[in-house]
Amino acid sequence: MAQAAVQANLPPGWFTHPLQRPLNQSDRSHMSLDKATVRRISELARIEVPETDLEPLAQELSAILGWIEQLGEVDTADVAPMRSVMPITHPWREDVVDDGNRQDAITRNAPSAHDGYFVVPRVVE
């Protein structure tokens, strides 16, 4: 089989076809998010999601998370997490003000500003 010949030349376990599988065919059903979880994520993310979009979004996010699950195969028992990719030492500097007094420039882009302040909806009732 041509297919088998191609696969024989590949390093074990490296196929891209799981990435190309249609989203509604996730085989990692244990990872699926339900509507309630998606609603909670949308609240945490401060993005309003209409009720009718919750289910399709749950399917999309489940498929992406299902695909991500394969990281579980990698042994990372003694691996320190990588937080900064280049070993850069942060320099010291004098603790002095070197910029500022630009209230007008900063509030100029605000949807609503008054007298050097941002105008926001009432926060405390």
Query: Which residues form the interface with another protein (CB under 8 A)?
Result: 6-7, 9-11, 13-17, 19-23, 33, 37-38, 41-49, 57, 60-61, 63-65, 67-68, 70-74, 76, 79-86, 88, 90-91, 93, 102, 105-112, 118, 120-123
48 within 8 A of 19, measured Cβ to Cβ: no
We find the least distance from the C-beta atom of residue 10 to another protein, in angstroms, to be 6
DSSP characters over 3-16: HHHHHHTSPTT--S
We find the least distance from the C-beta atom of residue 91 to another protein, in angstroms, to be 7
How many CB atoms within 10 Å of residue 31?
A: 16
**Amino acid at position 53, single letter:** D
